């Protein structure tokens, strides 16, 4: 089975995330959206809220699984028997950062990273921008899936 892990904090899930996931669905038998947890980080949304955003958004797709994890992504991949990590790239800075991580992961585990370029319509969207807009009572309707707007 070709299983990919799409790791992230998803705080919150954005249309950039959903773009990558939807375009990756035909490439894999299963995609595990793995919500990473870091005790050092302060999140805007709880792990339960982030999980619900994803569950509601992909409720009708049997290829999508949702899980949470702590620690190294490659350790999680080994645990769930995934040979692939899925990552989205918005810009050249993302590529340089992600390339170093992907090369390290491959060296340590032989797990391959598959990069998809974010669609031009979504390339400017980031969770940190969305959080800033929410903090300032702005409208994020064009940046997030409906499940996030319900909150």
Catalytic center residues: 17, 41, 90, 127
CA distance 65 to 31: 6
Q: What is the three-class DSSP state of 116? A: strand
Ramachandran angles phi, psi of 88, nearest 5°: -105, 145
Strand arrangement, sheet containing 84-89: 64-69, 30-36, 3-8, 84-89, 112-117
Which helix H or strand E contains 69, and what residues bound it?
A: strand 64-69
Q: How far apart are CA 116 and CA 89, in angstroms?
A: 6
């Amino acid at each position: 089975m070709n299983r990919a892990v799409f790791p992230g904090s998803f705080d919150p899930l954005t249309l950039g995330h959903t773009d990558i996931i939807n375009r990756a669905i035909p490439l894999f038998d299963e995609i595990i959206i793995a919500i990473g947890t870091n005790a050092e980080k302060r999140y805007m949304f709880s792990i339960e809220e982030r999980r619900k955003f994803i569950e509601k958004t992909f409720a009708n797709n049997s290829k999508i699984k949702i899980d949470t994890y702590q620690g190294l992504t490659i350790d999680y991949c080994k645990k769930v028997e995934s040979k692939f990590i899925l990552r989205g790239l918005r810009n050249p800075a993302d590529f340089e950062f992600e390339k170093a991580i992907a090369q390290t992961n491959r060296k340590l585990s032989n797990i391959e990273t598959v990069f998809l370029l974010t669609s031009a319509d979504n390339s400017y969207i980031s969770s940190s921008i969305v959080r800033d807009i929410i903090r300032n009572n702005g409208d994020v309707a064009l940046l997030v899936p409906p499940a996030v707007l319900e909150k």
